Every structure is written in structure tokens, then in C-alpha cells.
Structure 1
Amino acid sequence: DNTRTVENAYFIQKREEGYADKSIREIVKEICSYTDGCTCSSKKDCLVNIGGFLAMNDEDFFIDAKAQVVIFEGLHTYGGMSGRDMAALAQGIRESVATDDYIKYRVEQTNYLGELLTEGGVPHVIPHGGHAIFLDARKFLPHIDQEQFPAQALAAAIYVETGVRAMERGNVSAGRDPETGENRKPKLELVRLTIPRRVYTQSHLDYAAEGIVNLYHSRDSIRGLKFVFEPKLLRFFQARFESL
């Protein structure tokens, strides 16, 4: 999966011995040299709003893949993407590794939000990632049972309090056991605060952090949720809830 290779290259540059003097472009090229192929969702590191690609070294596999893409996406010359989207993707790939400045700013912006939450005592996953901060909903809301979807409840409360849209990564996302029909109960109940690239200023992050810290101080007022609509598939995208 090549989706966040540029982010990973930045962490390699900062944390792994022997890479401090290498550019992001050089590290990305080295990572790719060890692979036979990759898939990539271009909406992340490649700075575009839509699209992706499949790349490979094997000629026979490439010929088979070209035949399959016609069935599912469109001719191999565009794969379901418009000319504008392909041009934007090509430019995005160039810009993502043209200098180290872009990815440094992106990762450090995410870290800035994490540091604000650390100062406010908000429980979250450390070390901070490259594109998102993950709140620990079980520690944030210890009074809410996992059957009452603490991560989903926290994401909803953040939206009500701040207008910031976050993503649940816990019980709701885990779905139900197909044999028992019971909710799966993952060890982690997380809320993902993903930072869109080239969108937010420092003041936006200050606002989001202040609202979440304030919410943490009044966390006992947050209640669990129950389903009012639960689809069979992708319930974390389509389900609806109400407070208990």
C-alpha cells in the first residue's frame, strides 16, 4: 500500500539511523525499489481530491490488470478518471516530493494539534501520527460501556461542541460477528481527527483543541448511543444513532 509512503519517508528521515541527510524523494524511491508492485489511494499523499493507481514491475501481471480495469473502471488509458484528475494526480505526485517542506509542514501541523491536546490532559495515542490524532475514547469516557459505542458518542459530542467532524474507529467500525450476531469489541475505541492537507491554519487547530479540551473537562455529561438504523454493510458510514 503506497498511500502514505511520503509520510512514512518523513518518519524514516527523522527517526532511522543513516537517513537524516537523505531527501524525502530519495527515501521514497528507495522504499519503492524494494517492492514488486503497489496500490495507491491518491487522495492522501498525492494531494488530489479523487483517484488512485496500481503499479507493478511484472509485464504479464500488467497485461492482465489492463484487461480487468476495463471491466470495473474503464479503459486502461484513464481507468475511470477524467483528464483533469489525471493531470492533477501527476502534478500532486511531483509536488509531494519536490522538496521536504510540504510533508514536514503537514506532519508537524498534526503534531501541533497533538501537543495542544497533551497540554490539556486529553487521552490520545502517542506518538502522534503523520496525518491524524487518535483520541482514546475508552479513557476519555470511562463511564460509557462499550455496548453503548463510546468512540461514536465522543465523535458526536465533538461535532455538537465544536462543529469538527471526526471519525469513529471502534465498536461501530468493527461490526458484528457473523456467527453470533453480537457486536465485536475491539481493544481500542478511537476517534480519528484527520488533518486535511493544505486546508487548516494554526488558528483552526487552536479552536479544535480548545473545544476538545473543554469537552474533556465536562465529559461526564456525555451519554452513550444506541442504533436507530443499522445497515447490514458499512454501518460506520450509514448508521444512525440517538442518545441513551
Structure 2
Amino acid sequence: MKQAVEFNHHHADTMIIGARKKQHYASYLHVHKGAALIRLGKVELPVCANQGFWLPIECLNAVTVMKGSQVSTLNFSVRTIALLPNKAGYIESSPIMTGIIEQLHMRKQNDGVQWDGAYGRLLRCARDYLTTVSPHDSNNDQFRQLVASIEALAKGHALPEGIGRALESALGFSTEDIAIQLRVREWVRLYKSGRSAKKIALAVSLSESEVEQLLSQVAGIN
């Protein structure tokens, strides 16, 4: 990282599939549209539109941004001396953070990324605000059902109609779309580990061309 704080905005034209690793910086992820999935340990947590999530330095995680989603991230270097949270978790939506992120996105497009100008001051405002928050777990019935629904789709199971509608409402995608993306994500992991498209196709009872087409359309793998 060139600066102590960096901002990025991502429009996921294809799935963004992060590797599972410990990151050497802290991150705040904000979802504008669609959803991101964050794996912590054995659990994959959905971060939906207008939600934020905090990942501290050295946190072992894997982030997936669903195709069609829009997210912003703020990354904080170890050089940052501010006392940022040391626990991963959800951060309550705030008009302050929403406004800062909107301004950062606009200024990055129009004015560049000058640390000594208004852009840098906005980054420092975001950093200072995040020193005041307390990331938290989400553990109500609705949340647990979302987590279980994602796990079921990832395993190839169908969802009851009412549960499927709740998942679609939360993530902003049809259950069919979610299931396809989760399936392709697993293919990407196999592909990157050395499995050919032909071998993947044989394992999932599809033609090689069908697998290659989905890898390209959903994950940008050509």
C-alpha cells in the first residue's frame, strides 16, 4: 500500500473470488448493491446491500463478491497509528460513512487521489470514524436462516419457496443465479488447483463447452 489508507470501488462484472488468507492490512467493506460473502473459519457470512463489515489485520478470511454487485473497500495499512477495531464483524450503517464513501468515489473519478487534498482528508475522516465503532456478530433467526440457505445452495440442495424468497430479497439475486455462482466458484477453485475444464465437466455431468462458457460468463475465466 502506497498510503496509510486506500479506497477502492468495485463493480463486479464477473465474480470476484478472493483466496483464503491472512491479510496484512485492515479492511472495511461496504456493499452498495448485491452481496459479498465473507468466510471466517467454517462459516460464510453474507454482507448485503447497505451493510458494512470490518476485517482486522491478520484476520484469516476469504471474500467473494457476487457478479453484478457493487462494493467499496477502505484498506488500512499497519502504518496507521489509529486504534482501529481488532475484531471482525458487521458495522452498523451510518450516514457519515455512506457520505464519505460517496464523496471518495466521486473525487477519485474526477479529481484523483491526492493524500494532501480533500480526498486525503476524507480518508482520514473515515479512519477516525472507524476508531469509534464496535464490530458485532449477527445471530438472529433471520440471519441464521440466510447462512443456512447459502450453505444449502452451495451443496446443490433446493430451497423451500418461502426460504428462497427471503434469500433473494436479502442478496438481490434469484436463487438460481446464486446457486450457479456458488457452483462456478467451486469450479474456479478446482481450475486454479490444476483441474482441467474437461475433468470438471465429467465430474458434474456437463459438456466441456458448457463448463467453459459458465467459467467465462460468471467468473471471467477464459
TM-score by length of 1: 0.29
Bigger RCO of structures 1 and 2 (CA < 8 A, at least 6 apart): 2
Bigger helix share? 1
- Structure index of larger Rg: 1
Bigger strand share? 2
TM-score by length of 2: 0.31
